[in-house]
Amino acid sequence: MASGDHSAMTELYDQTSALVFGLALRIAGEHSAAEDIVVDVYAQAWKQAAEYDPARGSVVTWLLTMTRSRAIDLRRARRRDQATEPLEAANEVRCERPGPEAISDAAERHRFVQGALATLSAELRQVVELSYFAGYSHSEIARRLGQPLGTVKTRIRSAMMQLRAELAGLEAAPLTAKEKRL
């Protein structure tokens, strides 16, 4: 490769590119950035092939050292770019996670549902839990409980009708601030 042999470069790339790409991806964290790093590393290896010293380490070590340096430089540059954005840019950042109000509302709904489930008889609660929370089909529940399929379907329907009646007020009227505090 040091003498300009393109086939030597091709062979080196074929034997080592998976390692180089893997390290670049692990450090950079983005597929496109890792690809750019790989291109840069092999371009640098081509240019500096004559400077490679086997006494300092294997070719793979040499390539991985270059990869690590480039990837860390890229991460540092990104961090600097993010740190220098104006404060107004923070208004444009959207959070994927729900906010405190949504979490509170979900917790409140969870308490209502748990309360409604507690009003069901043990038989009805069992089929609802197996169906909706464990994900079993009606026939799987029937086999699991050793009951006829019609019985399981009837119990699920009865349970759902009771739950609908218990939870009717939940959708009809949103909670007031005072009710939320209670």
Ordered domains of the chain (ranges, CATH): 6-92 (1.10.1740.10), 100-181 (1.10.10.10)
The sign of the torsion formed by the CA atoms of 34, 35, 36, 42 equals positive
* The token pair that represents 4 in the structure block: 């300009």
Residue position matching structure tokens 């169906």: 131
Spatial CB neighbours of 33, under 8 Å, sequence gap ≥ 6: 24, 71, 74
The sign of the torsion formed by the CA atoms of 72, 74, 80, 83 equals negative
Please report which residue ranges of the chain form alpha helices under DSSP H: 6-28, 31-47, 59-83, 100-118, 122-128, 138-145, 149-166, 168-172, 177-181
Task: Supply the pLDDT for residue 159.
Answer: 92
Contact 132, 120 (CB under 8 A): no
Task: Supply the pLDDT for residue 179.
Answer: 46
Task: Supply the pLDDT for residue 38.
Answer: 93
Spatial CB neighbours of 62, under 8 Å, sequence gap ≥ 6: 45, 52, 56
With CA atoms as reference, report the closest residue to 120 among 165, 169, 74. Answer: 165
Task: Supply the pLDDT for residue 182.
Answer: 43
The sign of the torsion formed by the CA atoms of 91, 95, 100, 105 equals positive
Task: Supply the pLDDT for residue 169.
Answer: 73
What is the pTM assigned to this prediction? 0.44
Greatest alpha-carbon pair distance for the chain in Å reads 84
pLDDT per residue, tens digit, the chain (182 aa), is 878 888 988 998 999 989 999 999 988 888 899 999 999 999 999 999 888 888 888 899 999 999 999 999 888 887 766 655 566 666 666 767 777 887 887 788 888 888 888 999 999 999 988 988 788 899 999 999 999 999 999 999 999 999 888 888 766 545 555 444 44
